Amino acid sequence: MSQVTSEQYTISPYLIIFPLYVGMVGVGILTYQRRVMEHAGYNSWVSLIITGLSMHLLLWMLYKILSSIEDSRDIVAINHKLFGKWLGNLINLAIVLYFVLGAFVKFKVYVEMIQVWLFPSMNFLPVSIVILLIVYYAVSGGLRSVTGIAVWATMISCLSIVPQVSLTFPYLHPMNLLPLFNHSATDILLSSKDMGFEYLGFETLLFIYPFVKTPEKSQKWAHLIMILVTLLYLMILILAFMFFTEEQLLHTIWPTLNMIGIFEVPLLQRLEYMAVSLWFIKIIAGISIFIWAACRGMKLAFHFRPRISLIVFLAAITVSSYFIIDHRTVEWVSKMYANVGLYFIYAYIPFIFLCVMVRKRLASRATPANE
């Protein structure tokens, strides 16, 4: 049975936009342009729109899944209902590990970005420990604490990245976008698949849902933040296309930072340094929401105390970060997480949706017969 959430631990429906935003938008917004355009070139903006629309469909499925079984309002209880205790807990464990892997990828990619752009020779073990201690403090306070950090992270990231990339307007070349629609449907769909990685994080709703007051009212806010995230990705992608040539973009690892990096302003000098620094709280919030979801899953599925799970997960991330240091290994782990995430959102969520709908239909047919 799903546990009833006390009102003192819940959040208002509109606040759902903040944990979903920090879950979806991470360091990838600084790098995604090169990956997305590998198949469809400058037509990949079409792929981005297709991916955004598919995310709305998946989000709608999530709300249907979570609201269809009256006494099961989180994914752990739903898996128990559908698959039984043993198979259900095996699936729940896989989901917990998936969120821990996502937290590690967010953490490691950001640390690597600091090493590349700010402090190449610094020993990052102490810095990593400090970052994870802040995450420990945030997650220990529960979802409301994590949501509070997410509010600040959302405001800071939006108020910093949008004005900074807008400085590129005088240097844009709109003709770079031509010719339109010169790639096949297959290329467009392959780029859509690559873009799907950037949206991973909205599935934290599987654990957040029971903590939302009148959760059915939060659906419109969830779809709203999905629209805003899609527009944000689309704006930065088109700006990068008009700023770089296609050949330049294919060989640029951090396109967004390179766009910002051409500007020098008084006192700050290099804007990309400020962008990397301001992204700190955004990464803290993103890691926190993933770790919170993993700890919540361990509590519901295996009755582990959240504080013990939190310590174990953060220790595992610290140790893994110490041994995984070269860029190729980090990239391999990121690709593995991306592939697992795509199967999770495009295969597991629709499958659970169908199972829940079939179960609901069978239950509705059986009720009159029993009466």
Could you read off the pLDDT of 289-311 as tens digits, one per residue? 999 999 999 999 999 999 999 99
Identify the CA nearest to 309 among candidates 76, 16, 93.
93
Q: Among 147-161, 170-184, 296-310, 341-355, name the one with the lowest average pLDDT.
A: 170-184
| pLDDT beyond 60 at 283 | yes
Does a structural domain hold residue 113?
A: yes
Longest dimension (CA), the chain: 77
Q: Among 14-18, 39-43, 54-58, name the one with the lowest average pLDDT.
A: 39-43
Please provide the average confidence, as pLDDT, over all residues in the chain: 86
Write down the pLDDT at residue 269: 61
Write down the pLDDT at residue 7: 67
Q: Among 9-23, 255-269, 330-344, name the one with the lowest average pLDDT.
A: 255-269
Does a structural domain hold residue 2?
A: no
- Domain of residue 55 covers 7-362
Average of per-residue pLDDT across 2-25: 82
| pLDDT beyond 70 at 370 | no
Tally of structural domains, the chain: 1
Does a structural domain hold residue 367?
A: no
Sort 70 into a burial class: Cβ within 10 Å, 0-12 / 13-18 / 19+. exposed
pTM, entire model: 0.91
3-state secondary structure of 103: helix
pLDDT digits (tens, 9 = 90+) for 70-94: 666 789 989 998 898 899 999 999 9
CA of residue 271 relative to chain centroid, distance: 25
| CA distances to 189, 192, 271 from 42, in Å | 14, 13, 26
CB-CB contact of 285 with 153 (8 Å): yes
Average of per-residue pLDDT across 15-41: 88
Q: Among 37-41, 70-74, 105-109, name the one with the lowest average pLDDT.
A: 70-74
Write down the pLDDT at residue 274: 74
Domain harbouring 284, CATH code: 1.20.1740.10
pLDDT digits (tens, 9 = 90+) for 355-366: 999 888 887 776
Q: How confident is the model at residue 174 (pLDDT cuts 50, 70, 90)?
A: confident
Question: What single-letter amino acid sits at 140?
Answer: S
Distance of alpha carbon 17 from alpha carbon 13, whole angstroms: 9
Distance of alpha carbon 212 from alpha carbon 205, whole angstroms: 10
Phi then psi for residue 138, to 5 deg, are: -65, -50
Write down the pLDDT at residue 69: 72
Does a structural domain hold residue 303?
A: yes
Distance of alpha carbon 178 from alpha carbon 180, whole angstroms: 5
Does a structural domain hold residue 145?
A: yes
pLDDT digits (tens, 9 = 90+) for 236-265: 999 888 888 888 888 888 888 888 777 666
pLDDT digits (tens, 9 = 90+) for 42-65: 888 999 999 999 999 999 999 999
Does a structural domain hold residue 357?
A: yes
| pLDDT beyond 60 at 3 | no
Write down the pLDDT at residue 266: 64
Does a structural domain hold residue 368?
A: no
Does a structural domain hold residue 369?
A: no
Q: DSSP alpha helices (H): ranges in 118-254? A: 124-140, 143-166, 185-196, 205-208, 219-243, 246-250
Question: What single-letter amino acid sits at 6?
Answer: S
Average of per-residue pLDDT across 153-175: 81
